[in-house]
Structure 1
């Protein structure tokens, strides 16, 4: 399974990168291929491409702000959550994403 993710918080520093790391760990734990884009004070890093979106099974948007390029995910099954959720509740994020993809 391939999941694209975006992590973004208002300042785009600590929580953005903590969430990105948590999403990568979540992917490894469940044998998902994961690509995590971060949006923050330094701009966009590891940008998700159109090719990434086309082959993705779903998207996780862990953000406290409106993200740039949200329209890229309009045809994907998408979980929108708090930037803290992957950090503090990774099991719930996993279970919810599986439920969304399978329904």
Structure 2
């Protein structure tokens, strides 16, 4: 997976979240250029959902240690972002 896939996955997740009615989504990307749109400690603490769409382990992964993280592949995000958002919503509703 290359850098283009990172941004394709980010766009797919953003589009799916907006289509599902979420008014705010923050996406951090990590690639050859380093971390872009880095999530702050406050962003992480206040997030309803944390999704890692990854090909490799994210940098500074310890920032997410006290949070539930839904991990998917970049390909899953690109091909099935709507389904992933729906699946996460169902998991949250089930408690």
Give your verdict on TM over 0.5.
Answer: yes
Residue of 4, 27, 33 corresponding to 1:42: 33
Task: Please tell me the root mean square deviation across aligned C-alpha atoms, in Å.
Answer: 1.4
Contact 1:79 1:100 in 2 (8 A): no
Provide the TM-score with structure 1 as the length reference: 0.81
Provide the TM-score with structure 2 as the length reference: 0.87
Which segments of 5 or more consecutive residues in structure 1 lack a partner in the other structure? 1-8
- Structure (1/2) with the larger strand percentage: 1
- Structure (1/2) with the larger helix percentage: 2
- Alignment: residue pair count: 93
Gap change, CA 1:62 and 1:23, over 3 Å in 2: same
Are 1:54 and 2:41 matched, yes or no?
A: no
| Bigger Rg, which one | 2
Residue of 8, 17, 24 corresponding to 1:18: 8
Q: Which residue of 1 aligns with 2:55?
A: 64
